[in-house]
Amino acid sequence: MPAGPRLRVRRQEPDPSRPDRRRQRRLLALPGRGRPGPRGRRRLRLRRRRGQGRDSGRLPHGRAPSPRRRPPPAGPSRGGLDAARSQAYLVRPETERGPQAARRRAPSVRAPRHMSHAVIAATGLFTPDQSISNAELAAAYNAYAERFNADHAAEIAEGEVAELTPSSVEFIEKASGIKSRFVLDKAGVLDPARMAPNIPERADEDLSIMAEMAVAAARQAIAAWGKPVSEIGAVLCAASNMPRPYPALSIEVQQALGIDGFAFDMNVACSSATFGIKTAADFIASGSVKAVLMVNPEVCSAHLNFKDRDSHFIFGDVATAVIVESSDQAGPGGWDVLGTRLKTVFSNNIRNNFGFLNNAAPEGIGQPDKMFVQQGRKVFKDVVPMVSDMIVDHARDLGIDPATLKRMWLHQANINMNQFIGRKVLGREPTPEENVIILDEYANTSSAGSIIAFHLRQQDMAPGDTGLICSFGAGYSAGTVFVRKRG
Ligand code: COA
């Protein structure tokens, strides 16, 4: 007799590690019925709960049973295609064991009906119409410093107060690469008696200044997208500074644009935009919304201490907007989100102690620590290796050779930082096309910097080209978003 059929009919020896389900059912069934009745089912459920059922407790030979589901892979969570992949990974072990097994275990994690990924469909940019050059800024600071030294001449002579030394255009440009910055109010910043923008309060009934900026950038993104706002399911406002704790700025923007759904604010300092894209990508991968509007209004001139020579040149004002959409409804064009990754490591090297608790410690109100303060050198030293390694690791995990990246839209804080990171990632000196710099004109615009770069420098790229949006800053925090141009 041929061996095949005999093998097929051979009885299998009972496995002592596996309780005989049929026998259990027989024992628990009410007489005269083929399957257990309600009481029998309850007893069966109880047995399983007590750990007497299949797959529970320890095996007779002392080994623990194999886990029902493999744990998710270690390391930072991902969005976009990554998220879709890791979802599939979570549910695969259940389904791999056959439909019967999956049914028996009644998995609480269900496979999403579709595995759509996020697409960056459109972007928008609002740029204030006033700009300050380094020469204008240094002149204002020097006028302030002269006035301060004159006012404190006696204390300076006594050694009780430190004399202020002048700022210089050469230093600013060499140390940061910044040549100018856009601001909402130039006059206030350049007034040596004020050294702060003049942005009058608005009535609660009026659109707030930051909402107005965000709406302007959002309208541009929506127009480029070409779809009605009714398709947007969520609005995220991701920025370094919110004008108030509540109601959320994002909800004000949502209302101004006539968007249904929900909105919330999130603040991860300069990394807010990549954290926002990741959040949007995760919403899309989970199927909770089909399109997300993320806005990044930044009035950095209001948190910058223009009386501080070490940092008075760093920031500018701007707003950006990004529409992240599900791939299953996205039209042609845009950018596939290949993967997103976030990282945070606590540091006091960039800090701002402004907050609602200031009211409970009035002696601190108005002190320099209630604005942006940083240890620039330390930030440079800590963040450059952290971000370079993160980019290279994330690229490799996605199967991308970092040297083949066509473009990097890095956070725009300091040109030397970006050149360092660019060299480390590409393994050679990047060209100006590969490593986009817009901070010369915009300065550091916090969360908006990498998005401005992405918005302004992508039109020449071809379908299939891969690029990286990356932000980093206070926290410390960093986010990487790898994208590929769609056809
Ligand atoms: N004009 C002229 N000289 C200045 C100056 C100014 N405005 N500000 C500082 N200097 C002087 C300092 O007094 C110091 O002089 P010294 O050597 O005689 O003591 C010298 O310039 C160097 O100062 P330092 O602060 O060490 O400069 P730097 O080369 O580190 O550059 C930053 C300063 C802030 C531009 C740089 O550290 C940086 O960009 N770091 C990263 C910051 C960052 O990315 N932050 C993220 C924010 S989101």
Tell me which of 171, 272, 312, 386 to substitute to probe ligand 1's pocket, judged by most ligand atoms within 8 Å of the beta carbon. Answer: 171
* pLDDT in the model for residue 41: 55
Q: pLDDT (tens digit, 9 = 90+) per residue, 42-72?
A: 555 555 554 443 333 333 333 333 433 444 4
pLDDT of 385-404, one tens digit each?
Answer: 999 999 999 999 999 999 99
Best mutation site among 380, 418, 440, 446 for ligand 1 pocket (most ligand atoms within 8 Å of CB): 380
Radius of gyration of the chain from its Cα atoms, rounded to whole angstroms: 29
Beta bridge partners of 263: 235
Atom of ligand 1 lying closest to residue 270 CA: 48
- The torsion angles phi and psi of 315, rounded to 5 degrees, stand at -110, 160
Tokens 């707030």 sit on residue:
208
Within the chain, which residues score under 50 in pLDDT? 1-20, 23-34, 36, 50-112
Contact 368, 309 (CB under 8 A): no
Question: Would you kindly state where each structural domain of the chain is located, as residue ranges?
Answer: 120-153+165-485
Residue 148 is which amino acid? F
Residue 278: how many other CB atoms lie within 10 Å: 29
pLDDT the model gives residue 4 = 37
Q: How many CA atoms lie within 13 A of 76 on its CB side?
A: 21
Distance from Cα 310 to the centre of ligand 1, integer Å: 6
- Ligand 1 lining (C-beta closer than 6 Å): 167-168, 171-172, 175-176, 270, 309-310, 350, 374, 376-377, 379-380, 413-414, 417, 444, 473-474
* Residue 243: partners with Cβ closer than 8 Å, 6 or more residues away: 208, 209, 210, 249
Q: What homologous superfamily does CATH list for 120-153+165-485?
A: Thiolase/Chalcone synthase (3.40.47.10)
- With beta carbons less than 8 A apart as the criterion, state whether 454 and 294 touch: no
- Any idea how long the chain is? 487
Task: Specify the residue with its C-alpha closest to ligand 1, atom 12.
Answer: 310
Residue 19, pLDDT score: 46
Q: What is the pLDDT of residue 70?
A: 42
Q: For residue 39, what pLDDT is reported?
A: 55
3 state DSSP class of 408: strand
